[in-house]
Amino acid sequence: MKLDARVRFPQRGVDLTLAVEAGRTLALLGPNGAGKSTALASIAGLLRPDTGRITLDDRILYSHSDAHSDTDSGSFVATRPGQGEWVPPHARGVALLAQEPRLFPHLSVLDNVAFGPRSAGMPRGAARERAREWLGQVDAEAFADRRPAALSGGQAQRVAIARALATEPHLLLLDEPLSALDVESAPAIRQLLRRVLRDRTTILVTHDILDAVLLADDVAVVEDGRVVEQGPTSRVLTRPTSGFAARIAGLNLVRGTAHGAAVSTPEGLRIEGLSDDTLGEGAPAVAVFSPSAVGVYLQAPAGSPRNVVRGTVTDLEPHGHQVRVHTAYLAADITPAALSELHLAPGSEVVFTVKASEVAVYAA
Ligand SMILES: Nc1ncnc2c1ncn2[C@@H]1O[C@H](COP(=O)(O)OP(=O)(O)OP(=O)(O)O)[C@@H](O)[C@H]1O
């Protein structure tokens, strides 16, 4: 089913609009405190937004508007302040899978998975039958008779996935489902999710770019309580328009205004690039380029036609066989040999150069 959600918590500075098309997986990415968990809890019904509207297809799960602050056309005419609709969590057809499996410790694995169907009124035998099917789907039927305490973290998360899916939810919410797992068990659970999420309407909160690439059709980047960027995963990672998406995609991004195929920043920086967008003069735009396209010098090379950006080294870190040199806003990859020749350390003044032909300029 298709999800449309607008959730507003003015006191938390959260005002998010999200849409997930039926059968697609949307990854929510963003820094800590951006509002991702607030969005999931609101959609699951664990948290009541001050105002907003949440629908699954035509069914309203939550609706409440405030005539004074909600300027959405029409909606506040029909609903006066204090009125609204609220479907409790268990009746939403929404399953939430958290970081920790949170299985019921006193029930067997089988009865943990049968719990949802039982609560929905299914007879015990049929509920157990369904639980067995789902345990089979997640390769966990061998643990059916165990108690949760006798499971490893990865095994418990498999069971939690089966428990969430056994309720046959219209919408699945995953809150960093792999973050509590060790590096050995995470890949297998990621593969399992890849299989079970296919054609299922899902929102996935993650900090891991690999999860977004392997599991999500679309990505929404949340910063400071707002969705700052949303689109197909491949587009967001190859043509990011937010600083956060650029960082996780491993790209440099300079934001400013368009002047021809150049971007100018309020600080006076000007980056020339190539653009296949029709950019209005002065329109918001970004210049995006890879750290591997950046040359690092101590002095600006004489007569160079390249873009030149001065900065102070903030950090040096290994990056594959190279070393990534960070300044406050940009990064460059150089060889260890170049690093030792330049004698770089945090605090060093450097000049970054990049050819215009390596810089993509597009509307932001
Ligand atoms: N119980 C609460 N009461 C008031 N404000 C809260 C509460 N929980 C979170 N907030 C605020 O709401 C905003 C969004 O927080 P939220 O936990 O949704 O972010 P997040 O993106 O999920 O972060 P993280 O990645 O750290 O989980 C933050 O400003 C946070 O301080």
Please list, in sequence order, all residues whose beta carbon lies within 8 angstroms of the beta carbon of residue 190, skipping any fewer than 6 positions away. Answer: 178, 210, 211, 214, 215
Q: Among 86-90, 184-188, 236-240, 323-327, which stretch is predicted with the lowest mean pLDDT?
A: 184-188
Q: Ligand 1 centre and the CA of 115: distance in Å?
A: 30
Could you tell which of 7, 9, 12, 222 is best to mutate to test the pocket of ligand 1, judged by most ligand atoms within 8 Å of the CB?
Answer: 12
pLDDT of residue 81: 47
Could you tell which of 15, 16, 36, 176 is best to mutate to test the pocket of ligand 1, judged by most ligand atoms within 8 Å of the CB?
Answer: 36
pLDDT of residue 362: 95
pLDDT of residue 209: 87
CA distance 217 to 16: 19
Q: Ligand 1 centre and the CA of 10: distance in Å?
A: 12
Q: Whose CA is nearest to atom 7 of ligand 1?
A: 12
Nearest atom in ligand 1 to the alpha carbon of residue 207 is 25
Could you tell which of 37, 176, 203 is best to mutate to test the pocket of ligand 1, judged by most ligand atoms within 8 Å of the CB?
Answer: 37
Residue 222 has pLDDT above 70, yes or no: yes
Helix (H, G, I), strand (E, B) or coil at 105: coil
pLDDT of residue 73: 44
Nearest atom in ligand 1 to the alpha carbon of residue 222 is 21
What are the tens digits of pLDDT across the range 200-210? 999 999 988 88
Residue 100 has pLDDT above 80, yes or no: yes
pLDDT of residue 67: 58
Q: Ligand 1 centre and the CA of 39: distance in Å?
A: 9
* Helical segments of the chain, H only: 36-44, 75-78, 109-119, 124-137, 153-166, 186-197, 209-215, 233-238, 243-248, 336-342
What residue spans define the domains of the chain? Answer: 3-236, 250-363
Q: Ligand 1 centre and the CA of 275: distance in Å?
A: 38
pLDDT of residue 82: 52
pLDDT of residue 79: 42
Residue 69 has pLDDT above 50, yes or no: no
Q: Are strands 25-29 and 202-205 parallel, antiparallel or unpaired?
A: parallel
CA distance 14 to 35: 6
Which residues line the pocket of ligand 1, CB cutoff 6 A?
A: 12-14, 30, 32-38
pLDDT of residue 126: 96
User: Mean per-residue pLDDT for 328-339?
Assistant: 94
- Enter the ipTM: 0.91
Mean pLDDT of the chain: 92
User: What is the reported pTM?
Assistant: 0.86
Q: Ligand 1 centre and the CA of 227: distance in Å?
A: 15
What are the tens digits of pLDDT across the range 146-191? 999 999 999 999 999 999 999 999 999 999 988 888 888 889 899 9
Residue 328 has pLDDT above 60, yes or no: yes
pLDDT of residue 84: 81
Q: How many CA atoms lie within 13 A of 304 on its CB side?
A: 17
**Record: fold of 250-363:** OB fold (Dihydrolipoamide Acetyltransferase, E2P) (2.40.50)
Q: Whose CA is nearest to atom 4 of ligand 1?
A: 12
pLDDT of residue 114: 97
Residue 198 has pLDDT above 70, yes or no: yes
Q: Ligand 1 centre and the CA of 251: distance in Å?
A: 27
CATH architecture of 3-236: 3-Layer(aba) Sandwich (3.40)
pLDDT of residue 304: 73
As a whole-number percent, the residues of the chain with pLDDT over 90 amount to 83
Residue 225 has pLDDT above 60, yes or no: yes
Per-residue pLDDT band for 236 (boundaries 50, 70, 90) equals very high
Structure-model confidence comparison of residues 220 and 76, the more confident one: 220
Residue 99 has pLDDT above 90, yes or no: no
pLDDT of residue 83: 63
Token pair, residue 187, equals: 């890949």
